[in-house]
Chains A and B, each alone.
Chain A
C-alpha cells in the first residue's frame, strides 16, 4: 500500500518487551507511529533472463487481507516465496515490523509467518493431526518436540480441524485423504501456528463454494479480530471483492506494471 492509504489502524501498544523478544534487531526509525506490518522496497525478482516483477514498493498495514491476483505464471507464488524468505530476491528488500516495532528481515521472522503452500507441503505418510501440529514447531526448542507435542497444542489442533470439518480424519494418513481435505489440513497447520502474517498461495483452489467461504471467512476473522495480515493469492474476482481489503495485481507483460488498490476504489498508479 502506498503510505498515503487511508483507513490505517493505530499502532499496537508500545512494546514493553522489545528487548526480550527482539534483541539484536534494529528499532524502526519511525518508532511507534509507523503502523506498517510489512514494507517492500524496490523489490525485484529475475528468473533466467526474465523479470517477474520489478521496482515493487508498497507497505501493508496490520490486520488487512490483501489479494494477490494475476494470470498463471506471472510470479504470484514467487512473490510470496520472496516475502517468506524462501526465494532470494534479485533486488530490493523486504522488512517485517513486529508487534514490538522492531524491524526484521524475512529469515528472522520465519516463525511468525504462516505459509499455506500451493502444493500443501504435507507429509503424506503422517497423520492429519501430526501434520497440523507441525505449525507449532517454531515455538519450541528442538528437544522439546522430540517425544511429541503438549496436550494443549493437541487440543488446539483438534479444535481447528473440527472447525474446518476434518474432525473425523484426525488420525488418518494425509495420503489417504482427498485433495480438498489436504488443503484444509495445510490451512489448519497455518492457523495453529498463530502467525503475525499469513502468506496463502491459492488456499481455496480445491474447495467447494461453502468451504471456500468458510476458509476465507476464517482468514478474514484472523485479520479483523487478531490484527493479523494476510496476503492471499486468489483467482476469483467475486471472492476478491467479498473478502479482500486491497488487491495487488501483477502484469504478465510488464514487470513494472504491478499496481495496488483498495477494493472498490479506482486503481492508483504504481
Chain B
C-alpha cells in the first residue's frame, strides 16, 4: 500500500510536468485533471477521505469545467501535444530534473508518513471530518471571511467582464 501511495504521488509530479511543459491549453488542462485525480487518490490513501472527496468534487468538478470552457478562448488550429517540438524537449528536460532531484533527495523509507487514525479502532467519524466540523463552531469567523471573499470575487468578475462605459473594460 505504501508503494502504491508513492506511485500515486509520483503520478502527481508527472501530471505537473505535463502542465508545466507548455503544451496547448487543452492538454495542459488534461494534465491538471490527471494531477488532481491522483492527488485525490493519494489523500484518500493517507486517510483523509473527506478532503479527498472535496478535492475531487469541487476542484475537479467545478473549477476544471470552467477551465475546459475557457480553453475554447485559446483555440488553435494545430494544438501542440507533449510529443512534438519544443514541448517534447521541455518534457524531457523537466523529467530529467525530477530524476536528478529523486537521486539527490529521495530517501527516508524507514519513516514513512503514517495515516490518520491508524492503530485506533472503533471510530465513528474520521479525523478530518471531525476537524472540518470545527469550521462551523469556533472557526465561524473564517467561514464568514471566506463567504465574503467569494461574494467580492463575484463582483470583481462582473466588473472585469462587463465592458460598457463604466467597467474596467472600456475598449469594447
Are these two chains actual partners, yes or no? no
Residues of B within 8 A of A (CB): none
